[in-house]
Structure 1
């Protein structure tokens, strides 16, 4: 959230969070990560291309390399983050690993700040971007969500999850915040370039005269949480799975609490260059395969986010 990581900048909006009440697994620690880190994901072995059922659907160069390069902001637990051992973990890496078995390749995650991921995709640094990224029409069309101007080539999305945006405060100090309008006159922390930031900017324009929402945006959600935890803001906002995970794990569950209902439910999508239709279709086929064989549901349930599950992969389902 994006997001949400909706997460996002100019032409990009963001990560959002899982629809419905999500009981987020609390056994993993929320940890930081540095840019340029590469990680192939979980320990389970990826099937080689000779035995993988969908290997022939991949572009020849990727099939030969045996690797799908993934751009991701790996600081968004429980969607993607570093575990105690420094390994990339979370919903996205687990799903990527399962799809890799279908395609006979490894999905290698490379860390980057969220608002640079689509640029990295356009420059071919990454083959895909998988980072709790909300599928939006603006991103599909390469349009800046604030100015409405074209800023680059759009992308295609393979949608794999549904999520919404939440607000959280320090535990026991909600200050009467229940809705976005309650943030007028207060300071909100969030991740730069996300749907949370878009919503905050839109809400600030509706505030009564003499009041506004003071928005402080950070490179990642962990920095925003640290600011709120230290008393430097009144509230924070992020995708629901991320906010719920922070509430459950930060300070052993003593730091934060969720307030109000999540809003702006929308699909998370795997972003792929529009010119790379062969890879797009291979990713969709792999996602449909793990939904059909039950691996998708096992992963979603493992992370306690079953309410955000989808029944099939969808292309460009965002609005």
Structure 2
């Protein structure tokens, strides 16, 4: 995803601390995601309700169901993606499992395109959206970052990580690209609805006559990577953890290289409908319990995101 903006949509899908170098487990491979209407993957669930210390904080309907339905774009390694067996893995699913132990429920990840996740949340298809989604004011207020117009109710965010946005190119073929301003006259591939797309649109407005920045937006980050790999674009952009993972793993590390510095560091948040304050507060309590008991730090270290750790979860910390 890209600091999934808006950051995955407001201007500026990236994540104050920059996420550190990605340490990639060799057994994990980048894989594409399936049909959003069919792909459902239950996480390796929570503990029994009797042993879950925070179960009573959940809404009664979710306690009875024993499941929290999670909308997620499961093609954004290492945050969430499919392994060789088709199982949903990554930083978000691991955090969800740890939180599930505190709450006594399972987090069931359901695949969807990133730019449709908040719509799915509003329609109650999902209970939450957890997908490397940047917490920003536009999303909190339900405002379209391009037009400034109100498009929905907005959501609350339970923040859990910080990260920035990066640009990468084919390895050995940077085309002189080191900053966003170097993209004028070039073509960039991004995931639709992300901060990367927002940043590209903002940069395109600054380009001089005769040096147009062409933006190709795709349903998921895998498609953007494929476009760059094939030579159909000069560069691609996504959140730093994702870009670094792609650089590390694609083609055995021979396909891509990072260029320039990551920008627009901002929090990732779990999106919850405004009216679901009890669920929101339960998630925050579970996340803070996982931070306190040390599981959080181990999970971030496993996925190379330790430098983006937060000391505590806050609500709507994005600007």
TM-score (ref. length: structure 2): 0.96
Partners of 1:100 and 1:87 lie apart in 2 by: 18
CA contact (8 A) 2:6 2:136 kept: no
CA contact (8 A) 2:169 2:256 kept: yes
Following TM superposition, by how much is the alpha carbon of 1:33 offset from its aligned partner in structure 2, in angstroms?
A: 1.5
State the partner residue of 1:21. Answer: 20
Following TM superposition, by how much is the alpha carbon of 1:3 offset from its aligned partner in structure 2, in angstroms?
A: 3.7
Partners of 1:7 and 1:117 lie apart in 2 by: 14
Map 1:182-197; keep pairs closer than 5 Å: 182-197=182-197
Structure 1 residue runs of 5 or longer lacking an equivalent are none
Structure 2 residue runs of 5 or longer lacking an equivalent are none
Say which is worse superposed, 200-209 or 129-138, in terms of deviation.
200-209
State the partner residue of 1:142. Answer: 142
Call closer, same or farther: CA 1:14–1:209 in 2, change over 3 Å: closer
Following TM superposition, by how much is the alpha carbon of 1:123 offset from its aligned partner in structure 2, in angstroms?
A: 0.5
State the partner residue of 2:119. Answer: 119
Partners of 1:98 and 1:316 lie apart in 2 by: 22
Q: Counterpart of 1:75 in 2: which secondary structure?
A: coil
Say which is worse superposed, 297-306 or 13-22, in terms of deviation.
13-22
Following TM superposition, by how much is the alpha carbon of 1:41 offset from its aligned partner in structure 2, in angstroms?
A: 2.1
1:110 aligns with 2:110: yes
Q: Counterpart of 1:100 in 2: which secondary structure?
A: helix
Partners of 2:19 and 2:250 lie apart in 1 by: 21
TM-score (ref. length: structure 1): 0.96
State the partner residue of 2:246. Answer: 246
Deviation digits for residues 101-142 of structure 1, max 9, x if unmatched? 000000000000000000000011100000000001000000
Q: Counterpart of 2:175 in 1: which secondary structure?
A: coil
Partners of 1:52 and 1:282 lie apart in 2 by: 12
Partners of 1:56 and 1:62 lie apart in 2 by: 10
Q: Counterpart of 2:312 in 1: which secondary structure?
A: coil
Deviation digits for residues 186-224 of structure 1, max 9, x if unmatched? 000010010001000101111112212100000000001
Select 2:43's aligned residue among 36, 41, 44.
41
Following TM superposition, by how much is the alpha carbon of 1:5 offset from its aligned partner in structure 2, in angstroms?
A: 6.9
Partners of 1:106 and 1:2 lie apart in 2 by: 27
Following TM superposition, by how much is the alpha carbon of 1:26 offset from its aligned partner in structure 2, in angstroms?
A: 4.1
State the partner residue of 2:280. Answer: 280
State the partner residue of 2:312. Answer: 312
1:259 aligns with 2:249: no
Following TM superposition, by how much is the alpha carbon of 1:13 offset from its aligned partner in structure 2, in angstroms?
A: 5.5
Map 1:55-66; keep pairs closer than 5 Å: 55-66=55-66
Deviation digits for residues 235-266 of structure 1, max 9, x if unmatched? 00000000000000000000000000000000
Deviation digits for residues 5-38 of structure 1, max 9, x if unmatched? 75645xx568235714322314210001111311
Partners of 1:267 and 1:170 lie apart in 2 by: 28
Partners of 1:54 and 1:25 lie apart in 2 by: 32
Q: Counterpart of 1:159 in 2: which secondary structure?
A: strand
State the partner residue of 1:171. Answer: 171
Deviation digits for residues 250-288 of structure 1, max 9, x if unmatched? 000000000000000000000000100000000000000
State the partner residue of 2:218. Answer: 218
Map 1:228-239; keep pairs closer than 5 Å: 228-239=228-239
CA contact (8 A) 1:75 1:222 kept: yes
Call closer, same or farther: CA 1:70–1:185 in 2, change over 3 Å: same
Partners of 1:4 and 1:217 lie apart in 2 by: 13
Partners of 2:118 and 2:108 lie apart in 1 by: 17
Q: CA RMSD in A?
A: 1.4
Partners of 1:6 and 1:104 lie apart in 2 by: 32
